Structure 1
Amino acid sequence: MPTIDEELDRKSHLYSLIMPVMNQFLPNLQNGKGMYFLFVKSESKTPSGLPARPVLTSYYKSRHFARARAANDPYTNYTSPTETILCNDTHQSMYSQLLCGLVLRHEVLRVGAVFASGFIRAIKFFENNWTSLCKDVRNGTVDHRIVTDPVVRLAVSRVLVGPNPGLADFLERECRRDDTGIIPRVWSNCKYIDVIVTGAMSQYIPAIDHYGGGSLPLVCSMYASSECYFGLNLNPLCNPDEVLYTLVPTMAYFEFLPADHDDDGDCDDDNYGEIKLVDLVDVKLGQEYELVVTTYAGLYRYRVGDVLRVGGFKNKAPQFTFVCRKNVVLSIDSDKTDEVELQTAVTRAAVQHLAPLGASLVEYTSYAETSNVPGHYVLFWEIDNGVMIERSSSTVSESCLAVEEGLNSVYRQGRVWDSSIGPLEIRVVESGTFDAIMDHAVTELGASINQYKTPRCVKRGPIFEMLNSRVVSSHFSPRLPKWAP
Structure 2
Amino acid sequence: MTAAALYTRIARRTFSRMMAIWTDYSRRAFEADSKQFACANERTLRRILRRHRNTEFGRAHGFSAALAAGSPAEAFRRRVPLSQYSDYEQALHRMAMGERNVLVSDPVIFFAPSSGTTGKSKLIPVTERSMRNTVRTLVLTRSVFGQLRPGGASAARGISLVRMSDNLSTTAAGIPTGDASAAGMRRAAAIIPYLYTTPLAAMQIEDKPSALFIHLLFGLPERDLNHVSATFAHNVVYLFRTLEQRWPELLDSIATGRLPDDLVLKPDERRNIERLLEPNPDLARALQPELEKGFENIARRLWPNFSFVAAATTGSFAAYMETLRGYVGSVPVCNLLYGATEACIGINVDLDTPEQYALLPRSCAFEFIPLENTDDAEPRTVGVEELEQGRQYEVVITSDAGFYRYRMDDVVRVAGFRNGSPRVEFQFRRGTILNVAAEKTTEKQVADVIRSLESRWLRGRGRVLDYTVAAETGVSPPHYRFFIELDTDSGLWDSAWNQEAAQFLDQELAAANVDFKLMRNARVIGQPVVNFLQLGCFGRLLAEMPNSNAAKIPRVVAKPEHVEFLVGQSIVGELILKSGSIGQ
Select which of 8, 11, 19 maps to 2:142: 19
Cα pair 2:207 2:265 within 8 Å, conserved:
no
Tell me whether 245-254 or 123-132 shows the greater mean CA deviation.
123-132
Q: TM-score, normalised by structure 1?
A: 0.67
Q: Distance in 2 between matches of 1:164 and 1:79?
A: 17
Count of aligned pairs between the two proteins:
372
Select which of 258, 263, 285 maps to 1:146: 263
Q: Which residue of 2 aligns with 1:251?
A: 363
Select which of 267, 284, 294 maps to 1:178: 294
Q: Distance in 2 between matches of 1:415 and 1:147?
A: 15
Q: Distance in 2 between matches of 1:291 and 1:159?
A: 46
Select which of 156, 159, 173 maps to 1:32: 156
Cα pair 2:299 2:327 within 8 Å, conserved:
yes
Select which of 41, 44, 55 maps to 2:180: 55
Cα pair 1:364 1:381 within 8 Å, conserved:
no
Higher relative contact order (CA 8 A, sep 6+): 2
Residues 1:100 and 2:242 aligned together? no
* AA aligned opposite 2:204: L
Quote how far apart the aligned CAs of 1:257 are: 0.9
- Cα 1:233–1:432, aligned 2, differ >3 Å: closer, same or farther? closer
Where structure 2 has 5 or more consecutive residues not aligned to the other structure, the ranges are 1-123, 435-442, 448-465, 489-497, 504-528, 554-561
> Structure 2 matches for 1:233-248, cutoff 5 A?
233-235=348-350, 237-240=351-354, 243-248=355-360
Q: Which residue of 2 aligns with 1:459?
A: none
* AA aligned opposite 1:32: A
Where structure 1 has 5 or more consecutive residues not aligned to the other structure, the ranges are 351-359, 383-395, 405-410, 444-485
Quote how far apart the aligned CAs of 1:53 are: 2.2
Q: Distance in 2 between matches of 1:170 and 1:148?
A: 28
Deviation by residue 1:366-412 (Cα, 9 ceiling, x = unmatched): 33525449xxxx99999xxxxxxxxxxxxx9xxx9xxx9xxxxxx96
Q: Which residue of 2 aligns with 1:288?
A: 392
Q: Which residue of 2 aligns with 1:225?
A: 340
Cα pair 1:233 1:244 within 8 Å, conserved:
yes
* AA aligned opposite 1:202: A
Q: Distance in 2 between matches of 1:292 and 1:370?
A: 35
Q: Which residue of 2 aligns with 1:299?
A: 403
* AA aligned opposite 2:317: M
Q: Distance in 2 between matches of 1:289 and 1:336?
A: 27
- Cα 1:152–1:12, aligned 2, differ >3 Å: closer, same or farther? farther
Q: Which residue of 1 aligns with 2:20?
A: none
Q: TM-score, normalised by structure 2?
A: 0.57
Q: Which residue of 1 aligns with 2:204?
A: 86
Cα pair 2:207 2:264 within 8 Å, conserved:
no
Q: Distance in 2 between matches of 1:336 and 1:7?
A: 34
- Cα 1:149–1:188, aligned 2, differ >3 Å: closer, same or farther? farther
Q: Which residue of 2 aligns with 1:8?
A: 131
> Structure 2 matches for 1:301-380, cutoff 5 A?
301-328=405-432, 342-343=470-471, 346=472, 362-367=477-482, 369-372=484-487
- Cα 1:368–1:59, aligned 2, differ >3 Å: closer, same or farther? farther
* AA aligned opposite 1:238: D
* AA aligned opposite 1:195: A
Cα pair 2:157 2:197 within 8 Å, conserved:
yes
Quote how far apart the aligned CAs of 1:151 are: 5.0
Q: Which residue of 2 aligns with 1:446?
A: none
- Cα 1:416–1:279, aligned 2, differ >3 Å: closer, same or farther? closer
Cα pair 1:204 1:370 within 8 Å, conserved:
no
Q: Distance in 1 between matches of 2:334 and 2:372?
A: 30
Select which of 316, 319, 326 maps to 1:203: 319
- Cα 1:53–1:178, aligned 2, differ >3 Å: closer, same or farther? same
Cα pair 2:313 2:335 within 8 Å, conserved:
yes
Quote how far apart the aligned CAs of 1:21 are: 0.9
Cα pair 1:34 1:79 within 8 Å, conserved:
yes
Give 3-state SS (helix, strand or coil) of 2:126's partner.
coil
Cα pair 1:39 1:85 within 8 Å, conserved:
yes
* AA aligned opposite 2:361: P
Quote how far apart the aligned CAs of 1:283 are: 1.3
Cα pair 1:305 1:325 within 8 Å, conserved:
yes
Cα pair 1:113 1:119 within 8 Å, conserved:
yes
Which is richer in strand?
1
Quote how far apart the aligned CAs of 1:200 are: 1.1
Cα pair 1:108 1:189 within 8 Å, conserved:
yes
* AA aligned opposite 1:128: Q
* AA aligned opposite 2:338: Y
Cα pair 1:140 1:163 within 8 Å, conserved:
yes
Cα pair 2:202 2:211 within 8 Å, conserved:
yes
> Structure 2 matches for 1:311-460, cutoff 5 A?
311-328=415-432, 342-343=470-471, 346=472, 362-367=477-482, 369-372=484-487, 414-415=543-544, 423-425=565-567, 429-430=574-575, 433=578, 435-436=579-580, 439-440=581-582, 442-443=583-584
* AA aligned opposite 2:161: F
Select which of 235, 239, 246 maps to 1:122: 239
Cα pair 1:228 1:252 within 8 Å, conserved:
yes
Quote how far apart the aligned CAs of 1:362 are: 4.8
* AA aligned opposite 2:176: P
* AA aligned opposite 1:122: L
Quote how far apart the aligned CAs of 1:157 are: 4.4
Deviation by residue 1:267-296 (Cα, 9 ceiling, x = unmatched): 7xxx2xxx3211223211111110111110
- Cα 1:200–1:414, aligned 2, differ >3 Å: closer, same or farther? farther
Q: Distance in 1 between matches of 2:482 and 2:320?
A: 14
Compute the RMSD of aligned alpha carbons. 3.6
Give 3-state SS (helix, strand or coil) of 2:306's partner.
coil
Q: Distance in 1 between matches of 2:312 and 2:248?
A: 29
Deviation by residue 1:47-90 (Cα, 9 ceiling, x = unmatched): 444333232233223x2x225437x4xxxx11111222222332
Q: Distance in 1 between matches of 2:216 and 2:159?
A: 8
Task: Report the identity percentage.
Answer: 25
* AA aligned opposite 1:305: D
Residues 1:191 and 2:314 aligned together? no
Quote how far apart the aligned CAs of 1:154 are: 5.4
Quote how far apart the aligned CAs of 1:244 are: 1.5
Cα pair 1:103 1:159 within 8 Å, conserved:
no
Q: Distance in 2 between matches of 1:247 and 1:336?
A: 30
Q: Distance in 1 between matches of 2:229 and 2:286?
A: 22
Cα pair 2:467 2:482 within 8 Å, conserved:
no
Q: Distance in 2 between matches of 1:206 and 1:371?
A: 13
Cα pair 1:39 1:87 within 8 Å, conserved:
yes
Cα pair 1:116 1:196 within 8 Å, conserved:
yes
